[in-house]
Amino acid sequence: MEVPRNRWTDGGWNDKLRQFLPLARWLLRGVKLDNPENPSADDLQRLYQAVSPKVFAEAIPYILEATGKNQKTLLRNMAQMWGQLGIGNPIPPRSLKEGRCDPSSLSGAVAIVVGGTVSWMRLRLDSTLRVQQAGAKFDKILMIGSNRICSSGADWRHPYIKGCFREGHEPTELEVLRQWVYGSGQVDSQFVFPHVPNPNGGATFTLEEQLRFLVNTKQWEKLVGGRKVFVATNGGNALYIPLHIRRVLGLDDIWFSQPASNLVHPVPEYWWPDDQDLMTTPSGIIRLWIELKANGCIE
C-alpha cells in the first residue's frame, strides 16, 4: 500500500518505516534482530515489547549513552521521524485497497468504535459521527469496550473523568461508552453494544479476543454479515487499529479515517483532544509496522 499523497509524504511504506529502524535498534538494548534490514514478524514483536511507552521512558538514559545525543536532540529527531512518516496527518475516509472514498458510499456500512483511554474513545466516537455527518448513513455503530477501569493517568486527564468521578469510583470503558450514548435518556437503535462476557479473575479481554468471541458466537454474522466495515481512529498512534481488525476478522477490505494529531512533549497539564504525547509514538509506529506487514501492505 502506497502512502496516500493527500497531505502525506510521497513514497512507499517500505522506505518510510525504515527511517524508524535506527531508533528501534537503540531501544532494543541488546535484543538481536534476525534480519535488521527487513525485520520479521517475530523481530517486530520484540521491537514492540521494547518500545512500550513505559519501557521507552525508562530507556531514555541508555539511548542517550548509546547515541551520544542529548535528550533535546533525541526528541527533536523523533519529531522529525514522525513528520517524515506522516502518520499524524489527517486522513479523510478511505479504503485500504481502493483509496479515498465519498462518505456517502459508506451508507449501509457498519462502524466500529473500540475501547481505550477515555480521550481516545471520545475521539473515535466523535470521528465516527463526523463521517456520518458528511454523508455516511451507517446501518449500525458497534460499541466495543472492555471491563478495564478508567483510572489511569491518561484517563484522569480527560475532563469527563476529572469532572464526574471520584478516585476509586471510576467507570469501565464499556460504562463510559454507554453513558455517552444513553446519558440523555434517549435510546438510539443505531448504537449496538454486542454481548461479550467479562473474563474470569478480573482480567481484561483484548480487542482481538473480543472480536473472535463475536465471530464464534455468530454475533458478527448477525450484526455485520457482508457489509462494509468502517473504523475511525483517534490519530496517528492508532492507525494500526483498522488494519488489526481487518487481519483478525479476515476481511477483504476495510474503511477508515483519522483526525490530525499534534505532537507534544512534555504533555501540558490541561487536556486537548489533538495532542499526541511524543513518548508514546515509538510503540504506535511499531504496532502500525506489525499490522502493515501482517496485512501484506509492505514486503
| Phi, psi dihedrals of residue 156, rounded to the nearest 5° | -70, -15
Choices 3.30.9.10, 3.90.79.10, 3.40.50.620, 3.65.10.10: CATH for 91-259: 3.40.50.620
Check: CB of residue 127 under 8 Å from CB of residue 97. no
**Strand 91-95 relative to strand 255-258: parallel, antiparallel, unpaired?**
antiparallel
- Establish how many alpha carbons lie within 13 A of residue 100's alpha carbon, considering only the half-sphere containing its beta carbon: 10
pLDDT in tens, 162-216: 999 999 999 999 999 999 998 766 667 899 999 988 877 677 888 999 999 999 9
Q: Pick the residue with more confidence: 146 or 38?
A: 146
Question: 258 by DSSP, 3-state: which?
Answer: strand
The H or E element spanning position 111 is strand 110-114
Instruction: Give the DSSP letter string of 24-63.
Output: HHHHHTTPPPS-TTS--HHHHHHHHHHTSHHHHHHHHHHH
Question: What's the pLDDT score for residue 49?
Answer: 72
| Phi, psi dihedrals of residue 206, rounded to the nearest 5° | -75, 165
**Which residue spans of the chain are classified as CATH 3.40.50.620?**
91-259
pLDDT in tens, 209-225: 999 999 999 999 999 99
pLDDT in tens, 252-261: 999 999 998 8
Question: What's the pLDDT score for residue 28?
Answer: 57
Question: What's the pLDDT score for residue 11?
Answer: 42
Please choose, from the candidates 61, 54, 52, the residue with its C-alpha nearest in 3D space to the C-alpha of residue 24. 52
Peptide linkage before 266 cis (omega within 30 of 0):
yes
Check: CB of residue 280 under 8 Å from CB of residue 273. no
Range 44-58 average pLDDT: 71
How many Å apart are CA 98 and CA 94, to the nearest integer? 7
Check: CB of residue 115 under 8 Å from CB of residue 148. yes
Question: What's the pLDDT score for residue 288?
Answer: 83
Mean pLDDT of the chain: 83
Q: What percent of the chain has pLDDT over 70?
A: 83
